[in-house]
Structure 1
């Protein structure tokens, strides 16, 4: 299944609260909204992609529990980016200081913050150009480190603030660098 983009603006412009309620009223669907206000309906992932997402997220959570440096989020979390888009990366991490600076009511819905770290895992139905644009959007809104993992091509594109995208072929490990200090993701069984 492909993602579908619907331009509602000729009929209605959803407020943040209306978008939140739409998502709450249809929990079986995953919605995103781009900076132009278009509604994006995302298909569920397949088993292989879901398993890979879960494994990566588990490693990040274990590291974070040990370091207590921030907060981890899975693919069901929507973030309100500074450009107005609502995005749900496959996994995300926000530093403790930035997350705790948000008011409790901001944290309870779609937090108005861009994660420090995001990862997107390509599924067979994703269009590479679309996910690459999404990764660029994260950077433009404040993400400091991003990984775009593509199991089909066995590549990882690393996105960093102010730097060209680095493409790695079949890497064995990925480093969290200075954003996730001490975090290393083992990829030997990933490919």
Structure 2
């Protein structure tokens, strides 16, 4: 299934507050809003993707529990990026000082910042759109992103101001300086790792 884009701009331009309330009133829908203000309706994930997401979150949360360097978020968490888009990556992490600088009210709604680290699991039907989102995250302040393509057994590594690095069938990924001492194991992803 692919995401659907709904353009309501000629009828109404939703404010951040209106978009947040639209999401609250429709909890069964996973909605994003792109920088043009269009609504993006995301389909539910399949079983393998959902299982992979849980594995990613468990590994990152376990590292974070030991290091206490930030906060880990799941795919239901909305982020309002500096460019105005509202996005929700599959897995994300925000450095502690940035989380601590948010007010209680800001923490209750879509977080008004770009995550420091994100992971997206690629859907085969919308490869270009997901790659565009990865570039959007990088241009809005994300410091490291991994785009996991289970079908091709590849990982695209995104870093700001650098070319994309593509790894074929990696066994592990390093959190580099963004997530010090974090190593993600890809052994449980699909039949041949990733």
Q: TM-score range with shorter-chain normalisation?
A: over 0.9
Shift of 1:127: 1.1
Count residues with an aligned counterpart.
190
Match of 1:152 in 2: 151
Match of 1:140 in 2: 139
Match of 1:99 in 2: 99
CA distance in 1, matches of 2:122, 2:166: 14
CA distance in 1, matches of 2:116, 2:23: 24
Match of 2:33 in 1: 33
Match of 1:182 in 2: 181
The Cα RMSD (Å) is: 0.8
Match of 1:12 in 2: 12
Deviation digits for residues 57-84 of structure 1 (CA, Å, limit 9, x no counterpart): 1100000001000000000000000000
- The TM-score, its normalising length taken from structure 1, stands at 0.98
Q: Following superposition, which runs of at least 4 residues in structure 1 exceed 3 angstroms of deviation?
A: none
CA distance in 2, matches of 1:122, 1:11: 32
Match of 2:68 in 1: 68
Shift of 1:189: 2.5
CA distance in 2, matches of 1:165, 1:102: 31
CA distance in 1, matches of 2:17, 2:136: 23
Deviation digits for residues 103-158 of structure 1 (CA, Å, limit 9, x no counterpart): 1111110011000000000134x411110000000000000000000000000000
CA distance in 1, matches of 2:153, 2:126: 16
Deviation digits for residues 3-55 of structure 1 (CA, Å, limit 9, x no counterpart): 10011100001111110111011111100000010000000000000000110
Gapped runs of 5+ residues in structure 1? none
1:173 maps to 2:176 = no
Aligned to 2:97, the other structure's residue is in SS state: helix
Gapped runs of 5+ residues in structure 2? none
CA distance in 2, matches of 1:184, 1:80: 28
CA distance in 1, matches of 2:42, 2:60: 24
- The TM-score, its normalising length taken from structure 2, stands at 0.96
Aligned to 2:63, the other structure's residue is in SS state: helix
